Structure 1
Amino acid sequence: MKRPLQPSVPTAGPLFAVAAVTLIAATYGLARLGYGLFLPAFSASFELTPAVGGLLSSGASVIYCVSAGLGFAYAPRHPRLMTILAGSTAALGSAGIAAAPSTGFFTAAVLLAGMGAGFASPALVELVQRNTKPFHAAKRQSVVNSGTGFGVVAAGLLALLLGPAWRLAWVLIAVIAVAGMIGVLLGDASRNRGNAGLQNDAEGANGNDDAGQRQRGGSQQRGLGLAALKWPLAAAFIYGIGCAAVWVYGRTLLEDQGGMPVALSAGAWIALGVGGAAAVLTAPWLARHSIRLTWPVTVLATAAATAGMALAPGSTGISFAAAALFGLAYTAATSVLIIWATATASSSAAGTSALFISLILGQAAGAALTGALIEASGFGLTFAVAAAACGISAAGAIARTQNQHTSEDGGLRVARSDAAS
C-alpha cells in the first residue's frame, strides 16, 4: 500500500499552546520590554543617567539581534535547544537583575535577559509548525505571538503593585520564564520523533527520488527562499522606524506634553498590553486573508494609533484608546510577519528571525531619528513623521504583493517544485 500523500503531523495539546504564549510573554513582554517600565525604579537604585539608560536599551537591541541570528541558524534543526536558551537566558538575566549589587552587574543582567526574546521566536515558530496541522498553523502562530501583549500587561501590573519592591517583581519574571520553557518542552508532541522522523515523513510524501533531489538542492532552495524575503525585510525595517516613536517616547509624550502622572501613564501601557493580548482574537482573520490585505490594515492601524496619541496626549480616554489600538495593531502586524516568513522563506524559523531582526534594527534606527526630530521640531511633527513611515511600509507591501497569487491559507503562494505537483 502507498503511504499517505500528506505527512503525519503530531498535534500538541493545550499545554503546549499555553506554555508557548507564556514563554513569549516572559521573554518579550516582561524580560525585554519590562526594562522601560521599571527604568524609574532602576534609576533610583543604580547610577543610570538618561544617556546611560538609552545606551543600555540600544545594547539590548543589539544583543537581541545576536540571539535572533543564532536562532536563524539553529532553530530549524534544533528548536528545543533554542527554547532552552530562550527560557534560561531570560530567567538567569531576570534573576540577575533582582540580585544585582552594582551598576555593572545590573547592566550585564539586562543584556542577558534581553537575549531570550531573540531565541524564543524562531524556536516557537518551528515547534508550532511541527505540532500543528498545516491548515491551523497560521492561526496558532498568531495566538502564540499575542503573548507579548499579556507580558506587557503583567509588567505594568507588577510595576504598579510592587512599586519599590522591584527586585521581587523580577524574581517572579524569572519564575514565569522557567515555567514557560518547561511547559513548551513537555508539551512538544514531536519531541520523541526528532528531525529524522519528520524528514522521513516528508520523504514518504513525495517519494525517495524527490527526497534525494531536495537533499542535493537544499542549500540552493534555502538561499532562494531567503532572497524572496527582500521586500518583507524592507517593509519590516520601515515599520520598525515608524513604531519606534510610541515604544520609546510614548510615555514621555503623555507625561511631558499631556501632564499625566507616572501611575496614569503606566496605566496607558497596561492598556497597550491589553490591546496586544486582544490580538489573539485577530488570529482567525489573519489566517483567512492575504498578506496584501492584513499587512496594510495592521500597519495603517499602527499609524492611526501613533497619530492619535500625539493629537491629544492630555486626554486620558483618547490616550488609553490609542495605546490599546497600538498594542493590538503592533502585535497583529508582527503575527503577519511570521505568516509572511512561513509563506515565503524555505525555513519558517529562519525567515522569522530575519524579519524580526530587520524590525528591531528599524526600531533602533527609528529611536535615534525620533529623538533627534523631537529636539528639533517637537512631538507633534515627530509622531506625524512616524505615522507616515508606517504608511510607506504599508504602501510598499501592497505594491510588491499586488501581482502575486494567494494560497489557500491566505498567505503568499510559495513556489513548488515539479516533483511535488
Structure 2
Amino acid sequence: MFKLIAPGTAMIAVNYAFARFSFGLFLPYISNSLNLSESQAGLIGTLGYISYSIALICSNSFIDKYGPLKVTQLAGLSAVVGLLGIALSANYLLLGISIFIAGLGSGWSSPAFSKVVDRSFPKDQKDQGNSWINSGTTFGIIISGPIALFFAEYWRKAFLFFALLALVTLIWNSMVIPNPDTSQESSEKRIPTLKKIIKNVFRSLQLL
C-alpha cells in the first residue's frame, strides 16, 4: 500500500502545490521581474485554472484510452515542462504558456490515481489510500510556503528546484505504478530500466 501512496502523494504535491498554487506565492516578484501589469498578472493566474478544468474534463477519456500509468506520466511531464518554463520565462507570453501547461497535470493526476487505487488496493483500503494520496496538496504547500517566504526574490531558482522535484517524482511513479500491459510478465521483467522509463515518458509527449 505504501509503495503506491508515497509516490502518489508526491505527484499530487507536485501538480497541485508546486505547479498550480505556488505561482501565486511568487507572483509579486515575478511581476516585478517581468514588468507585468495587474491585468496581465491576473490573466496569467487564470490560465492555470482554465487548463486544470480542460484537463479534468478530458481525464476520464484519456484514462480509458491510455490507462492510468500513461496519464500519470503525462501529468508529471506537464509539471516538469511547465515549472521549467516558468523558471526560464523571459516575457509575458512564455510565462502564460508555461502556467497553462503546468496547470494541466492537476486535472489529470487525481483522476488517474483514483483509478490506480481502485485497481490496486483492497476494497477496505481504497478510501484510506485516496485520502492519503490527495493530502499531497497539503504536504506540497508545507514545502513551497517556506521556500516562497525566504527565497521569493530567487523565484527562478525556486521553480528550477520544483521542476527537479517534479522530474524525480515522475520517474518514481513510472517505476511503481502497475502497468496492465505487463501484468502477465514475471516480476523480473516488470522492473523498469532507466532507459525504458525515459522512453515511456517521452512517448507520453504524443498525447500533447
- Structure 2 length normalisation: TM-score? 0.82
Q: Are 1:24 and 1:117, in contact at CA under 8 Å, matched by a contact in 2?
A: yes
Q: Secondary structure at the match of 1:101?
A: coil
1:132 aligned residue (113, 118, 121): 121
- 2:170 corresponds to 1:181: yes
- 2:50 corresponds to 1:62: yes
Deviation track 1:352-390 (CA, whole Å, cap 9, x = no partner) reads xxxxxxxxxxxxxxxxxxxxxxxxxxxxxxxxxxxxxxx
In 1: Cα distance, 2:70 partner to 2:139 partner: 24
- 2:139 corresponds to 1:145: no
How much does 1:171 deviate?
Answer: 0.9
Q: Are 1:23 and 1:181, in contact at CA under 8 Å, matched by a contact in 2?
A: yes
- Cα distance change on mapping 1:15 and 1:161 into 2, 3 Å: farther
Q: Are 1:131 and 1:188, in contact at CA under 8 Å, matched by a contact in 2?
A: no
Aligned counterpart, 2:183: 193
Q: Are 2:87 and 2:159, in contact at CA under 8 Å, matched by a contact in 1?
A: yes
Q: Are 1:90 and 1:116, in contact at CA under 8 Å, matched by a contact in 2?
A: yes
Q: CA RMSD in A?
A: 1.6
1:71 corresponds to which letter in structure 2?
S
Aligned counterpart, 1:118: 107
Q: Are 2:50 and 2:100, in contact at CA under 8 Å, matched by a contact in 1?
A: no
Deviation track 1:45-95 (CA, whole Å, cap 9, x = no partner) reads 113222222222222211111111221212245111111110001110100
Q: Secondary structure at the match of 2:153?
A: coil
Aligned counterpart, 1:103: 92
In 1: Cα distance, 2:14 partner to 2:59 partner: 17
Aligned counterpart, 1:75: 63
How much does 1:105 deviate?
Answer: 1.0
Q: Secondary structure at the match of 1:48?
A: coil
Q: Name the structure with the higher helix share.
A: 2
- Structure 1 length normalisation: TM-score? 0.42
In 2: Cα distance, 1:119 partner to 1:24 partner: 10
1:163 corresponds to which letter in structure 2?
A
User: Runs in 1 of length 4+ with deviation above 6 angstroms?
Assistant: none
In 2: Cα distance, 1:51 partner to 1:103 partner: 11
In 1: Cα distance, 2:137 partner to 2:14 partner: 8
Unaligned 5+ runs, structure 1: 1-12, 195-421
Q: Pick 1 or 2: higher relative contact order, CA cutoff 8 A, min separation 6.
A: 2
- 2:26 corresponds to 1:38: yes
Unaligned 5+ runs, structure 2: 185-208
How much does 1:190 deviate?
Answer: 4.9
2:14 corresponds to which letter in structure 1?
A
- 2:44 corresponds to 1:48: no
Aligned counterpart, 2:5: 17
Q: Are 1:90 and 1:112, in contact at CA under 8 Å, matched by a contact in 2?
A: yes
Q: Secondary structure at the match of 1:165?
A: helix
Q: How many pairs align?
A: 182
How much does 1:189 deviate?
Answer: 3.7
1:14 corresponds to which letter in structure 2?
F
Tell me the percent identity. 28
